[in-house]
């Protein structure tokens, strides 16, 4: 590689022109910043921290490449009961063109990210990971999870729905601390938000922390009726997951 060649700040692959890395989908632009909340270093172009969801300050720190490491695929088995019912069809599917071959769960061809908005890219990649997880395709989960997390870091704005999705993706990498941080940010914004307790409960189940799981169930059940009356759109998109968690909470 010559001195004039450029590499992706997220995965280290050689850049071949265009706005995004051909290997991982990260933005190809230079620059970067450190998160003032947790100290993590996001990929170039990120506006929000991949680990905790905090908005990033505009600083002059040089980008230092931190690869997104995919590990802990065994965690998929723990999440299977939750994610199996998640489904991949969500309202507001992106209208950008996607190659026909990219639709199948077993195909690992990346979708055409360049024609999508940042949120469309994130949603499409998230759905791909969930679809692969549901089918037990760990190779596709390993390939697309870093791309989905990079897309999350480039969102113009994040809401509870995006943070919940990012937490589920973090769990697929075995990053329990990152998932816990995202649950904290959801509950910091809305202390009764059901997604925060679903994430905490899933983490507690993985860590076999019965007291934490019991607390998550108790808080979820206590706030369920009030939160459902708020008619949050993200609850409609994840009704099956919430219904199942409520059933667990009431049973225990």
Copy the structure tokens of residue 52. Answer: 């905790």
How far apart are the C-alpha atoms of 193 and 116, rounded to whole Å? 29
> By CB neighbour count within 10 A (0-12 exposed, 13-18 middle, 19+ buried), where does 153 fall?
buried
pLDDT digits (tens, 9 = 90+) for 57-76: 533 233 333 333 333 333 33
Asked if 35 and 130 count as a contact pair (C-beta separation under 8 A), the reply is: no
pTM over 0.85: no
The predicted structure's pLDDT at residue 223 = 97
The angle at the Cα of 250, spanning 247 to 251, to the nearest 5 degrees, equals 80
Segment among 75-79, 108-112, 230-234 with least mean pLDDT: 75-79
How far apart are the C-alpha atoms of 223 and 85, rounded to whole Å? 22
Percentage, residues of the chain above pLDDT 70: 55
The predicted structure's pLDDT at residue 172 = 83
Residue closest to 70 by CA, chosen among 205, 153, 204, 170: 170
The predicted structure's pLDDT at residue 78 = 37
Mean pLDDT over 109-115 rounds to 65
pLDDT at 179 > cutoff 60: yes
How far apart are the C-alpha atoms of 88 and 123, rounded to whole Å? 10
pLDDT digits (tens, 9 = 90+) for 155-166: 989 999 999 999
User: In angstroms, how far is CA 8 from the centroid of its own chain?
Assistant: 20
Q: Which residue has the higher pLDDT, 54 or 9?
A: 54
pLDDT digits (tens, 9 = 90+) for 198-248: 999 999 998 999 999 999 999 999 999 999 999 999 999 899 999 999 999
pLDDT at 83 > cutoff 50: no
Residue closest to 45 by CA, chosen among 143, 125, 118: 118
Residues 6+ apart with CB under 8 A from 228: 235
How far apart are the C-alpha atoms of 20 and 51, rounded to whole Å? 21
Q: Report the range out of 47-56, 63-72, 124-133, 179-188 with the highest average pLDDT.
A: 179-188
Residues 6+ apart with CB under 8 A from 178: 50, 51, 52, 167, 170
Q: Which residue has the higher pLDDT, 76 or 191?
A: 191
How far apart are the C-alpha atoms of 102 and 109, rounded to whole Å? 5
Copy the structure tokens of residue 186. Answer: 């959801």
Q: Which residue has the higher pLDDT, 134 or 21?
A: 134
Q: Taking the alpha carbons of 14, 16, 22, 24 in that order, is the dihedral positive or negative?
A: positive
The predicted structure's pLDDT at residue 28 = 52
């Amino acid at each position: 590689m010559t001195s004039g060649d450029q590499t992706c700040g997220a995965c280290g692959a050689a850049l071949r022109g265009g706005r995004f890395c051909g290997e991982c989908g990260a933005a190809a632009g230079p620059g970067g910043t450190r998160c003032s909340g947790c100290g993590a270093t996001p990929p170039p172009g990120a506006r929000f921290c991949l680990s905790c969801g905090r908005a990033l300050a505009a600083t002059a720190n040089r980008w230092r490449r931190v690869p997104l490491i995919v590990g802990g695929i065994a965690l998929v088995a723990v999440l299977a009961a939750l994610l199996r019912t998640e489904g991949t069809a969500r309202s507001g599917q992106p209208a950008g063109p996607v190659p026909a071959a990219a639709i199948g769960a077993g195909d690992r061809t990346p979708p055409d990210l360049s024609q999508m908005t940042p949120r469309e890219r994130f949603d499409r990649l998230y759905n791909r990971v969930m679809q692969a997880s549901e089918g037990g395709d760990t190779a596709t989960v390993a390939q697309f999870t870093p791309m989905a997390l990079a897309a999350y870091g480039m969102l113009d704005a994040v809401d509870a729905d995006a943070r919940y999705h990012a937490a589920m993706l973090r769990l697929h990498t075995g990053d329990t601390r990152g998932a816990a941080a995202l649950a904290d940010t959801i509950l910091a914004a809305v202390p009764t938000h059901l997604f925060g307790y679903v994430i905490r409960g899933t983490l507690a189940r993985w860590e076999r922390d019965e007291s934490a799981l019991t607390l998550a169930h108790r808080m979820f059940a206590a706030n369920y009726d009030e939160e459902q009356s708020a008619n949050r759109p993200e609850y409609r998109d994840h009704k099956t997951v919430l219904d199942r968690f409520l059933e667990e909470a009431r049973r225990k």
